[in-house]
Chains A and B, each alone.
Chain A
């Protein structure tokens, strides 16, 4: 059963491109957004992720990414996602994602299927968005088969709520955007419900093809309810190219 579900998500999400009777505008984006994690319990981490996004004017999108972690020398994460924003001209949409995270140094990997709904709103020079979904997480503890996403010899199944909310403003003819974001996930990994983070991001369009991004923030990694005493400082810094 798990094999069938994973197969359907993995390949279904990639090939679920709808057929259109008329030509549609398509955009391709490549994103390079290295991430520095300054931890307090475990060693610091520096990741080099690369992402590709395929987006249609009507809201359909598919993206994929892979992330290499320099501190451990392992591929840390990869994902495939497909979804539809602004379904039937509403601000709402949904997505389906497979995210694989390798912890090879600990001889385990954790794979997630994330089903989420989202909403995106814009008014004047403001924008806001949210996503809420369920992360079905599967733990693989067989060190010889960490890349085998269909094999869970001693499976641990968990279901965890995942979410993000964003609010921002646009300046200089929308070329410069600042936003605050609250989440328990990024593109590569969805954390536990209480693994929440606050980010203050900035994006600047250098021209019609290039955007630079700087997103510093904090993610709590130890708390008593909201009295978090331990934070990871996280900095995303990189850019995006529209092809």
Chain B
């Protein structure tokens, strides 16, 4: 009975996979935000055609390797210009797993843009992440599309990052805007322990996105595709790309004169 209770508690408290030992090694979102600012800016992507596509994946949970990333290589087309990865890149925030991820980036031959998930900051993972993949929050332009990564690995943005986000949105000159982050806004099932934590913060952000003309908010964490259009903002949750030996799903987004569109595709 005691064992059963322990298993239930562990499952409830660790979200998508069991990592009890990593629970107490996480970092503070304010710290990550300040260190990200010291790393400088991400350059804009220039020389893009009028219409281009990009790949969205989330929840890779790399532990040693991820065969889905190898399969994804065969799906990349000439029109795919970059990949957005919406957090939980690694299972435990280990250095070698972040390095594996950058190896996949080289193999695919197009740039990766990362945002952190809760698993990436387990076991002090931020110390490796900042050195290997860089900032946890940043922004860049891809043609007429403004892309913003916000760090929700702790289920909250923190006051500093929130202020920065407001400034970025306020100064945005592009006609379209996509935000990508890890934690999703809406509960997908009854026992979902971790998500964006404070509902007032969720509603604050939704209101901010609507006022600022954000088009898409791309998220992960729930491991289940979801799409909700709320007051003109599409909240798009990507399926998990974790390697379970049975393939995975990814999103191909297309950006052109008419804005953004997407398709959910299988490997």
Whether A159 lies near B230 (C-beta < 8 A) is no
The interface residues of chain B lying within 8 Å CB-to-CB of A36 are none
Chain A residues 214 to 234 lying within 8 A of chain B, measured CB to CB, are 220-227, 229-230, 232
**Contact of A42 with B154 in the complex, beta carbons under 8 Å:** no
Among the listed A160, A222, A226, which residue makes an inter-chain contact with B155, where contact means beta carbons less than 8 Å apart?
A222
What are the residues of chain B within 8 A of A193 when measuring CB–CB? 187, 191-193, 195
Enumerate chain A residues within 8 angstroms of B44, measured Cβ to Cβ: none
Q: B231–A141 contact, CB under 8 A?
A: yes
B146 → chain A, closest Cβ, in Å?
22
Which of B23, B153, B159, B207 is close to A226, meaning CB atoms less than 8 Å apart?
Answer: B23
* B200 / chain A contacts, CB cutoff of 8 Å: 42, 103
B254 at the interface (CB under 8 A from A): no
Q: A42-B204, A134-B190, A193-B192 are in contact. Are A226 and B24 (CB under 8 A)?
A: yes
Interface stretch of the complex, out of A20-28, A54-62, A105-113, A201-209: A105-113
User: In this assembly, does A158 line the interface, its C-beta being within 8 Å of a C-beta of chain B?
Assistant: yes
Q: Which label, helix, strand, loop or mixed, suits the secondary structure of the B interface?
A: loop
Does B201 have its Cβ within 8 Å of any Cβ on chain A? yes
- Indicate whether B144 reaches chain A with its CB closer than 8 angstroms: no
Say yes or no: B191 contacts A41, CB within 8 Å: no
B157, CB-defined interface residue at 8 Å: yes
Q: How far is the CB of A204 from chain B (nearest CB, A)?
A: 32
Q: Which residues of B contact A148 (CB under 8 A)?
A: none
- Check if B155 sits within 8 Å of A154, measured CB to CB: no
A13 CA to B33 CA, complexed, in Å: 47
Q: Are B197 and A221 in contact (CB under 8 A)?
A: yes
Interface centre among B155, B190, B231 (most CB of A within 10 A): B155
CA distance A192 to B121 in the complex (A): 22
Check A156 for interface membership: any CB of B closer than 8 A: yes
With A41-B201, A192-B197 already in contact, the answer to whether A227 and B25 are too (CB < 8 A) is yes
- A192–B187 alpha-carbon span in the complex (Å): 8
Q: Which residue of B lies closest to A191 (CB)?
A: B199
* B154 and A222 contact, CB distance less than 8 A: yes
A29 within 8 A of B: no
Q: Which residue of chain B is the closest to A43 with respect to CB atoms?
A: B159
Contact: A156 with B204, CB < 8 Å?
no
Whether, in the assembled complex, A161 has its beta carbon less than 8 Å from a beta carbon of chain B, the answer is yes
- Which residues 197-215 in B have Cβ within 8 Å of A in the complex? 197-201, 203-204, 206-207
Answer whether A229 and B154 are a contact pair too, CB < 8 Å, given A106-B204, A159-B190, A194-B193: yes
B228 touches A156 (CB 8 A): yes
Given contacts A108-B203, A156-B228, A194-B193, 4 further A-B contacts (CB under 8 A): A40-B156, A40-B158, A141-B206, A193-B187
A residues sitting closer than 8 Å to B (CB atoms) are 40-42, 103, 105-108, 110, 134, 137, 141, 154, 156, 158-161, 191-195, 220-227, 229-230, 232
